[in-house]
Amino acid sequence: MINALQLHEIQEVEELTEESRQRFEVKDVQSLSWVLRKMAALQAKKLEVNELIDVEIERLQHFRNKELESLQNNEDFFRGLISEYAIRKRDEDPKFKEKTPYGAISFRKKQPKWHYNDAALINHLKSNDLTEFVRVKEEPDKVAIKKQFKLNNGLIYDPDGQAVEGITVEQQPDELVIKLEV
């Protein structure tokens, strides 16, 4: 919840004209303090707005989940009725399928699902000289490269002093850090 001082700061910000916004300039510690006060008040207001909206979102999500759960339970019930009917009919006719104006039911063959124990399978493939079925993924060790390779004049050099191809360096500007006391 924002306090009265922060509310006053926000009102002052809202009252600033476009002309005064363009002409204002931070020239000293007092004007910097004034700007930081305004930013702190705005930050507090943003937090308040987010908290309010988060509560509403949570309430709406709870409502949605409750409604969808009820609908899903009803759908599951009807799916069970259809399943019992379809299984009985398929026992009578292995190629059973049925159409109505509101939908159709049938059975579809599914492929068997394979479950792999990668470690055991790799051991088996290697011990039986079936290494063509083992895939080896090659990728650079970027952490080790950053530790061992050197940057000089925008180029990267390996530990032997050779220029390295495949790495480009983008210089990043310093980032301004503003810490507000909210």
pLDDT, greater one: 49 or 179: 49
pLDDT band at 178 (very low <50, low <70, confident <90, very high): confident
Please report the pLDDT score of residue 71 as a whole number: 97
Q: What is the pLDDT of residue 10?
A: 78
Show me where the domains of the chain are located. Answer: 4-18+26-106
What is the residue-averaged pLDDT of the chain? Answer: 90
Average of per-residue pLDDT across 51-74? 97
Residue 158 has pLDDT above 70, yes or no: yes
Lowest mean pLDDT among 6-10, 116-120, 125-129: 6-10
Tens-place pLDDT, residues 81-114: 999 999 999 999 999 999 999 999 999 999 989 9
The predicted pLDDT at position 151 comes to 92
- Position 17 scores a pLDDT of 62
Tens digit of pLDDT for each residue in 7-22? 777 777 777 766 666 6
Q: For 39-66, what is the mean pLDDT? A: 94
Residue 58 CB coordination number (10 Å): 10
- For β-strands 97-100 and 103-106, DSSP reports them as antiparallel
pLDDT given for residue 2 in this prediction: 78
